[in-house]
Amino acid sequence: MIPINKPQTDEAEVQAVLDVMRSGPLTNALGAGPKVLEFEKAFAEFTGTKHAVAVNTGTAALHSAVMAVGVKRDDEVILPSFTFVATAEAVALSGGRPVFVDIDPKTYNLSPEAVEKAITTKTKAILPVDLYGFSADMKPLREIADKHSLGLVEDAAQAHGATYAGKPAGSFADAACWSLYASKNMMAGEGGVITTNSDKIDETLRMIRTHGEKTKYASEMLGNNYRMLELQAAIANVQMTKLPSFVAKRRRNAEQLTKILQGNSKLVLPYETSDCQHSWYLYTARLIESTEAQRNKLLDDLKAKDIGAEAYYINPVNTMPFYRDNYKTQTLPETEKAAKQVFSLPIHPGVNEEEIKFIGKTTQSLL
Protein backbone atom coordinates (compact mmCIF):
# COMPACT_ATOMS: atom_id res chain seq x y z
CA MET A 1 0.00 0.00 0.00
CA ILE A 2 1.26 3.49 -0.87
CA PRO A 3 0.22 5.42 2.28
CA ILE A 4 -1.35 8.87 2.12
CA ASN A 5 1.52 10.20 4.24
CA LYS A 6 4.64 8.74 5.81
CA PRO A 7 7.31 10.29 8.08
CA GLN A 8 10.64 10.68 6.31
CA THR A 9 13.48 9.92 8.74
CA ASP A 10 16.92 8.38 8.76
CA GLU A 11 19.79 7.89 11.21
CA ALA A 12 20.13 11.66 11.72
CA GLU A 13 16.90 11.80 13.73
CA VAL A 14 17.85 8.65 15.64
CA GLN A 15 21.24 10.10 16.55
CA ALA A 16 19.70 13.42 17.60
CA VAL A 17 17.39 11.64 20.05
CA LEU A 18 20.22 9.47 21.39
CA ASP A 19 22.36 12.55 21.99
CA VAL A 20 19.62 14.09 24.13
CA MET A 21 19.03 10.84 25.99
CA ARG A 22 22.73 10.53 26.78
CA SER A 23 23.51 14.17 27.58
CA GLY A 24 20.19 15.78 28.51
CA PRO A 25 18.35 17.77 29.52
CA LEU A 26 15.15 15.95 28.59
CA THR A 27 13.00 19.02 29.20
CA ASN A 28 13.07 22.48 30.78
CA ALA A 29 10.74 23.80 33.47
CA LEU A 30 9.91 26.90 31.41
CA GLY A 31 9.92 25.09 28.08
CA ALA A 32 13.14 26.75 26.95
CA GLY A 33 15.71 23.98 26.73
CA PRO A 34 18.66 24.35 24.32
CA LYS A 35 17.16 22.16 21.58
CA VAL A 36 13.82 23.99 21.84
CA LEU A 37 15.53 27.37 21.57
CA GLU A 38 17.49 26.15 18.55
CA PHE A 39 14.30 24.98 16.87
CA GLU A 40 12.41 28.19 17.64
CA LYS A 41 15.18 30.28 16.07
CA ALA A 42 15.28 28.12 12.93
CA PHE A 43 11.52 28.03 12.49
CA ALA A 44 11.14 31.79 12.94
CA GLU A 45 13.77 32.29 10.23
CA PHE A 46 12.01 29.83 7.92
CA THR A 47 8.66 31.59 8.28
CA GLY A 48 10.09 35.10 8.24
CA THR A 49 8.65 36.00 11.63
CA LYS A 50 10.10 37.63 14.72
CA HIS A 51 9.11 34.93 17.19
CA ALA A 52 8.40 31.20 17.25
CA VAL A 53 7.11 29.48 20.38
CA ALA A 54 7.41 25.69 20.48
CA VAL A 55 4.75 23.57 22.23
CA ASN A 56 3.99 19.87 22.55
CA THR A 57 1.16 19.52 19.98
CA GLY A 58 -0.51 21.42 17.18
CA THR A 59 -3.68 21.55 19.26
CA ALA A 60 -1.72 23.17 22.09
CA ALA A 61 -0.49 25.74 19.57
CA LEU A 62 -4.06 26.58 18.54
CA HIS A 63 -5.40 26.73 22.08
CA SER A 64 -2.51 28.92 23.22
CA ALA A 65 -2.87 31.32 20.30
CA VAL A 66 -6.63 31.68 20.76
CA MET A 67 -6.05 32.49 24.42
CA ALA A 68 -3.21 34.88 23.57
CA VAL A 69 -5.39 37.08 21.33
CA GLY A 70 -7.82 37.48 24.21
CA VAL A 71 -10.64 35.03 23.55
CA LYS A 72 -12.59 34.48 26.76
CA ARG A 73 -15.85 32.86 27.84
CA ASP A 74 -18.72 33.37 25.35
CA ASP A 75 -16.59 35.36 22.89
CA GLU A 76 -17.36 34.34 19.31
CA VAL A 77 -14.65 33.10 16.95
CA ILE A 78 -15.43 32.72 13.25
CA LEU A 79 -13.91 29.66 11.58
CA PRO A 80 -14.60 27.03 8.92
CA SER A 81 -16.31 23.75 9.68
CA PHE A 82 -14.36 22.04 6.88
CA THR A 83 -11.27 21.29 8.96
CA PHE A 84 -9.87 18.93 11.56
CA VAL A 85 -11.72 19.22 14.86
CA ALA A 86 -8.72 20.73 16.71
CA THR A 87 -9.44 24.12 15.11
CA ALA A 88 -12.84 24.35 16.79
CA GLU A 89 -11.62 22.52 19.87
CA ALA A 90 -9.16 25.33 20.61
CA VAL A 91 -12.01 27.85 20.67
CA ALA A 92 -14.21 25.72 22.92
CA LEU A 93 -11.33 25.01 25.32
CA SER A 94 -10.80 28.76 25.65
CA GLY A 95 -14.44 29.22 26.64
CA GLY A 96 -15.30 30.84 23.32
CA ARG A 97 -18.09 29.93 20.94
CA PRO A 98 -17.18 28.59 17.49
CA VAL A 99 -19.17 30.31 14.74
CA PHE A 100 -18.93 28.12 11.64
CA VAL A 101 -19.18 29.76 8.22
CA ASP A 102 -18.86 28.47 4.68
CA ILE A 103 -15.83 28.01 2.45
CA ASP A 104 -14.71 29.19 -0.97
CA PRO A 105 -15.40 26.13 -3.19
CA LYS A 106 -12.25 26.79 -5.24
CA THR A 107 -9.76 26.79 -2.37
CA TYR A 108 -11.78 24.96 0.35
CA ASN A 109 -10.73 27.74 2.72
CA LEU A 110 -12.70 30.25 4.77
CA SER A 111 -14.77 32.64 2.63
CA PRO A 112 -14.01 36.29 3.55
CA GLU A 113 -17.51 37.27 2.41
CA ALA A 114 -19.05 34.71 4.75
CA VAL A 115 -16.85 35.98 7.59
CA GLU A 116 -17.99 39.57 7.10
CA LYS A 117 -21.65 38.54 7.29
CA ALA A 118 -21.10 36.54 10.50
CA ILE A 119 -19.57 39.32 12.61
CA THR A 120 -21.53 40.40 15.67
CA THR A 121 -20.83 42.49 18.75
CA LYS A 122 -19.60 39.29 20.42
CA THR A 123 -17.01 38.44 17.75
CA LYS A 124 -13.49 38.43 19.15
CA ALA A 125 -11.38 36.67 16.53
CA ILE A 126 -11.20 35.03 13.09
CA LEU A 127 -9.58 31.60 12.73
CA PRO A 128 -8.91 30.63 9.08
CA VAL A 129 -7.34 27.31 8.10
CA ASP A 130 -4.74 26.71 5.38
CA LEU A 131 -6.48 23.53 4.32
CA TYR A 132 -4.42 20.82 2.60
CA GLY A 133 -1.46 23.25 2.69
CA PHE A 134 -2.92 26.12 0.64
CA SER A 135 -3.13 29.44 2.45
CA ALA A 136 -6.45 31.02 3.29
CA ASP A 137 -7.11 34.37 1.59
CA MET A 138 -5.40 36.38 4.30
CA LYS A 139 -5.36 39.93 2.90
CA PRO A 140 -9.15 40.46 3.00
CA LEU A 141 -9.31 38.59 6.31
CA ARG A 142 -6.62 40.92 7.69
CA GLU A 143 -8.65 43.91 6.51
CA ILE A 144 -11.80 42.57 8.15
CA ALA A 145 -9.94 41.87 11.39
CA ASP A 146 -8.44 45.37 11.46
CA LYS A 147 -11.75 47.01 10.59
CA HIS A 148 -13.52 45.34 13.51
CA SER A 149 -10.56 45.17 15.94
CA LEU A 150 -10.49 41.36 15.92
CA GLY A 151 -7.71 38.88 16.53
CA LEU A 152 -6.55 36.88 13.51
CA VAL A 153 -5.17 33.42 14.27
CA GLU A 154 -4.12 31.28 11.30
CA ASP A 155 -4.30 27.49 11.49
CA ALA A 156 -1.24 26.75 9.37
CA ALA A 157 -0.92 23.18 10.66
CA GLN A 158 -0.59 21.83 7.11
CA ALA A 159 1.16 24.77 5.44
CA HIS A 160 4.92 24.36 6.07
CA GLY A 161 6.50 25.77 2.91
CA ALA A 162 3.37 27.44 1.51
CA THR A 163 3.38 31.07 0.43
CA TYR A 164 0.69 33.74 0.23
CA ALA A 165 1.19 36.97 -1.73
CA GLY A 166 4.82 35.96 -2.11
CA LYS A 167 5.39 35.66 1.64
CA PRO A 168 5.51 32.58 3.87
CA ALA A 169 2.14 31.38 5.13
CA GLY A 170 1.33 32.96 8.48
CA SER A 171 2.76 36.37 7.60
CA PHE A 172 -0.56 38.24 7.76
CA ALA A 173 -1.87 36.74 11.02
CA ASP A 174 -1.45 37.95 14.59
CA ALA A 175 -0.37 34.38 15.32
CA ALA A 176 0.00 31.32 13.08
CA CYS A 177 -0.15 27.77 14.41
CA TRP A 178 1.78 24.86 12.96
CA SER A 179 1.63 21.13 13.66
CA LEU A 180 4.60 18.77 13.91
CA TYR A 181 2.46 15.62 13.95
CA ALA A 182 4.04 12.59 12.30
CA SER A 183 2.19 13.01 8.98
CA LYS A 184 3.05 16.69 8.42
CA ASN A 185 5.55 18.18 5.95
CA MET A 186 8.03 18.17 8.82
CA MET A 187 7.47 16.39 12.10
CA ALA A 188 8.61 15.68 15.64
CA GLY A 189 6.29 12.71 16.24
CA GLU A 190 4.04 15.15 18.06
CA GLY A 191 4.60 18.86 18.48
CA GLY A 192 3.51 22.33 17.51
CA VAL A 193 4.79 25.86 17.15
CA ILE A 194 3.23 29.34 17.05
CA THR A 195 4.78 32.16 15.02
CA THR A 196 4.09 35.86 15.63
CA ASN A 197 5.60 39.30 15.05
CA SER A 198 4.03 40.62 18.26
CA ASP A 199 6.27 40.90 21.32
CA LYS A 200 3.18 40.94 23.55
CA ILE A 201 1.68 37.77 22.04
CA ASP A 202 5.08 36.06 22.21
CA GLU A 203 5.40 36.87 25.92
CA THR A 204 1.86 35.66 26.60
CA LEU A 205 2.38 32.42 24.69
CA ARG A 206 5.51 31.62 26.67
CA MET A 207 3.57 32.01 29.90
CA ILE A 208 0.60 29.98 28.66
CA ARG A 209 2.79 27.02 27.73
CA THR A 210 4.19 26.72 31.24
CA HIS A 211 1.41 27.24 33.78
CA GLY A 212 1.26 31.02 33.32
CA GLU A 213 4.79 31.48 34.62
CA LYS A 214 7.63 33.80 33.66
CA THR A 215 9.66 32.40 36.52
CA LYS A 216 9.22 29.08 38.30
CA TYR A 217 6.41 28.82 40.86
CA ALA A 218 5.03 32.31 40.14
CA SER A 219 1.97 32.06 37.87
CA GLU A 220 0.82 35.39 36.45
CA MET A 221 -2.09 34.09 34.34
CA LEU A 222 -3.99 30.93 33.59
CA GLY A 223 -1.74 28.58 31.67
CA ASN A 224 -1.18 24.94 30.88
CA ASN A 225 1.59 22.38 30.53
CA TYR A 226 2.29 22.74 26.82
CA ARG A 227 6.08 22.50 26.90
CA MET A 228 7.92 20.85 24.02
CA LEU A 229 10.30 18.09 25.11
CA GLU A 230 13.95 18.36 24.17
CA LEU A 231 13.48 14.96 22.48
CA GLN A 232 10.81 16.43 20.20
CA ALA A 233 12.94 19.48 19.46
CA ALA A 234 15.93 17.29 18.60
CA ILE A 235 13.88 15.55 15.91
CA ALA A 236 12.43 18.86 14.72
CA ASN A 237 15.88 20.41 14.33
CA VAL A 238 16.94 17.62 11.98
CA GLN A 239 13.67 17.84 10.08
CA MET A 240 14.12 21.61 9.66
CA THR A 241 17.24 20.98 7.61
CA LYS A 242 15.28 18.62 5.35
CA LEU A 243 12.06 20.64 5.07
CA PRO A 244 12.96 22.56 1.87
CA SER A 245 13.79 19.31 0.07
CA PHE A 246 10.64 17.66 1.42
CA VAL A 247 8.46 20.48 0.07
CA ALA A 248 10.31 20.47 -3.26
CA LYS A 249 9.71 16.72 -3.65
CA ARG A 250 6.04 17.12 -2.80
CA ARG A 251 5.80 19.85 -5.44
CA ARG A 252 7.47 17.70 -8.09
CA ASN A 253 5.12 14.83 -7.30
CA ALA A 254 2.09 17.13 -7.39
CA GLU A 255 3.12 18.63 -10.73
CA GLN A 256 3.67 15.19 -12.22
CA LEU A 257 0.31 13.97 -10.96
CA THR A 258 -1.42 17.05 -12.34
CA LYS A 259 0.08 16.42 -15.78
CA ILE A 260 -1.45 12.96 -15.78
CA LEU A 261 -4.87 13.98 -14.45
CA GLN A 262 -5.37 17.35 -16.13
CA GLY A 263 -8.01 17.45 -18.81
CA ASN A 264 -10.19 14.86 -17.12
CA SER A 265 -13.66 16.39 -17.22
CA LYS A 266 -14.73 14.48 -14.10
CA LEU A 267 -12.14 16.13 -11.84
CA VAL A 268 -11.33 19.51 -10.35
CA LEU A 269 -7.63 19.51 -9.52
CA PRO A 270 -5.92 21.49 -6.71
CA TYR A 271 -5.79 25.27 -7.07
CA GLU A 272 -2.80 27.58 -6.70
CA THR A 273 -1.45 30.79 -8.23
CA SER A 274 2.03 32.11 -9.00
CA ASP A 275 2.25 34.08 -5.74
CA CYS A 276 0.15 31.73 -3.57
CA GLN A 277 2.06 28.47 -3.57
CA HIS A 278 0.86 25.20 -2.10
CA SER A 279 2.82 23.28 0.54
CA TRP A 280 1.32 20.11 -0.97
CA TYR A 281 0.59 18.52 2.37
CA LEU A 282 -2.27 16.79 0.57
CA TYR A 283 -3.06 16.54 -3.13
CA THR A 284 -6.82 16.95 -3.03
CA ALA A 285 -8.99 16.57 -6.11
CA ARG A 286 -12.75 16.76 -6.45
CA LEU A 287 -15.05 14.36 -8.25
CA ILE A 288 -17.44 16.70 -10.06
CA GLU A 289 -21.18 16.20 -9.66
CA SER A 290 -20.64 13.02 -7.71
CA THR A 291 -22.56 11.65 -4.79
CA GLU A 292 -20.85 10.69 -1.57
CA ALA A 293 -21.37 7.04 -2.46
CA GLN A 294 -19.62 7.50 -5.82
CA ARG A 295 -16.66 9.24 -4.17
CA ASN A 296 -16.43 6.53 -1.53
CA LYS A 297 -16.47 3.81 -4.19
CA LEU A 298 -13.54 5.52 -5.91
CA LEU A 299 -11.65 5.50 -2.60
CA ASP A 300 -12.40 1.80 -2.11
CA ASP A 301 -11.29 1.01 -5.67
CA LEU A 302 -8.03 2.94 -5.23
CA LYS A 303 -7.29 1.16 -1.96
CA ALA A 304 -7.95 -2.16 -3.66
CA LYS A 305 -5.12 -1.17 -6.01
CA ASP A 306 -2.85 -0.44 -2.99
CA ILE A 307 -3.17 3.33 -3.24
CA GLY A 308 -3.89 4.84 0.18
CA ALA A 309 -6.34 7.50 -0.97
CA GLU A 310 -8.37 9.23 1.75
CA ALA A 311 -11.14 11.83 2.07
CA TYR A 312 -10.55 14.84 4.33
CA TYR A 313 -12.92 15.78 5.92
CA ILE A 314 -16.01 13.62 5.55
CA ASN A 315 -17.67 15.00 8.71
CA PRO A 316 -17.62 18.81 8.91
CA VAL A 317 -17.08 19.84 12.52
CA ASN A 318 -20.52 21.45 12.90
CA THR A 319 -22.12 18.03 12.20
CA MET A 320 -20.19 16.26 14.99
CA PRO A 321 -22.39 15.54 18.04
CA PHE A 322 -20.67 17.85 20.54
CA TYR A 323 -20.59 20.84 18.19
CA ARG A 324 -23.99 20.14 16.67
CA ASP A 325 -25.59 20.00 20.11
CA ASN A 326 -23.81 23.00 21.65
CA TYR A 327 -23.31 25.49 18.82
CA LYS A 328 -26.16 26.23 16.45
CA THR A 329 -24.97 26.52 12.85
CA GLN A 330 -26.70 27.65 9.70
CA THR A 331 -26.56 25.51 6.57
CA LEU A 332 -23.12 25.44 4.96
CA PRO A 333 -23.83 24.28 1.38
CA GLU A 334 -20.30 24.55 -0.04
CA THR A 335 -18.85 22.76 2.98
CA GLU A 336 -21.40 19.96 2.76
CA LYS A 337 -20.85 19.52 -0.98
CA ALA A 338 -17.06 19.44 -0.71
CA ALA A 339 -17.16 16.90 2.13
CA LYS A 340 -18.97 14.49 -0.20
CA GLN A 341 -16.78 15.00 -3.28
CA VAL A 342 -13.11 15.56 -2.35
CA PHE A 343 -10.43 12.89 -2.14
CA SER A 344 -6.68 13.01 -1.57
CA LEU A 345 -3.89 11.06 -3.25
CA PRO A 346 -0.37 10.26 -1.91
CA ILE A 347 2.40 12.66 -2.98
CA HIS A 348 4.67 12.66 0.09
CA PRO A 349 8.47 12.57 -0.41
CA GLY A 350 8.55 8.80 -0.04
CA VAL A 351 6.49 8.39 -3.23
CA ASN A 352 8.78 7.87 -6.23
CA GLU A 353 8.24 8.82 -9.86
CA GLU A 354 7.02 5.41 -10.94
CA GLU A 355 4.52 5.31 -8.09
CA ILE A 356 3.19 8.74 -9.06
CA LYS A 357 2.64 7.48 -12.59
CA PHE A 358 0.88 4.42 -11.20
CA ILE A 359 -1.33 6.57 -8.94
CA GLY A 360 -2.26 8.91 -11.78
CA LYS A 361 -2.95 6.27 -14.41
CA THR A 362 -4.88 4.09 -11.96
CA THR A 363 -7.04 7.02 -10.92
CA GLN A 364 -7.73 7.84 -14.58
CA SER A 365 -8.74 4.25 -15.29
CA LEU A 366 -11.24 4.20 -12.41
CA LEU A 367 -13.10 7.37 -13.39
Question: Do the domain assignments include residue 66?
Answer: yes
The pLDDT of residue 286 is 98
Q: Are residues 182 and 221 in the same domain?
A: yes
CATH code (residue 306): 3.90.1150.10
The pLDDT of residue 360 is 98
Domain boundary among 239, 264, 296: 239
Q: Are residues 226 and 254 in the same domain?
A: no
d(CA 367, CA 364): 6
Q: Are residues 301 and 249 in the same domain?
A: yes
Contact partners, residue 32, CB within 8 Å, separation at least 6: 206
Question: Do the domain assignments include residue 3?
Answer: no
* Average pLDDT value over all residues in the chain: 97
Q: Are residues 283 and 184 in the same domain?
A: no
Domain boundary among 180, 208, 239: 239
Question: Do the domain assignments include residue 2?
Answer: no
Q: Are residues 33 and 126 in the same domain?
A: yes
CATH code (residue 30): 3.40.640.10
CA atoms 299, 305, 309, 315: torsion sign: positive
Segment 210-268, tens digit of pLDDT: 999 999 999 999 999 999 999 999 999 999 999 999 999 999 999 999 999 998 999 99
Is the pLDDT at 330 greater than 90, yes or no? no
Question: Do the domain assignments include residue 323?
Answer: yes
Across 341-360, average pLDDT: 98
Question: Do the domain assignments include residue 297?
Answer: yes
Question: How many independent structural domains does the chain possess?
Answer: 2
Q: Are residues 342 and 196 in the same domain?
A: no
Domain that includes residue 58, residue range: 11-239
User: What pTM was estimated for this model as a whole?
Assistant: 0.97
Tell me the H-state helices in the chain.
Answer: 11-23, 34-47, 58-68, 86-93, 112-118, 138-147, 199-208, 230-261, 292-304, 321-326, 333-341, 353-366
d(CA 330, CA 313): 19
Q: Are residues 234 and 268 in the same domain?
A: no
Q: Are residues 222 and 93 in the same domain?
A: yes
Q: Are residues 109 and 175 in the same domain?
A: yes
Question: Do the domain assignments include residue 133?
Answer: yes
Question: Do the domain assignments include residue 339?
Answer: yes
Across 198-214, average pLDDT: 97
Q: Are residues 141 and 283 in the same domain?
A: no
Q: Are residues 68 and 194 in the same domain?
A: yes
Q: Are residues 255 and 305 in the same domain?
A: yes
Question: Do the domain assignments include residue 4?
Answer: no
Provide the pairing of β-strand 283-287 with 342-345: antiparallel
Segment 104-124, tens digit of pLDDT: 999 999 999 999 999 999 999
Domain boundary among 209, 239, 269: 239
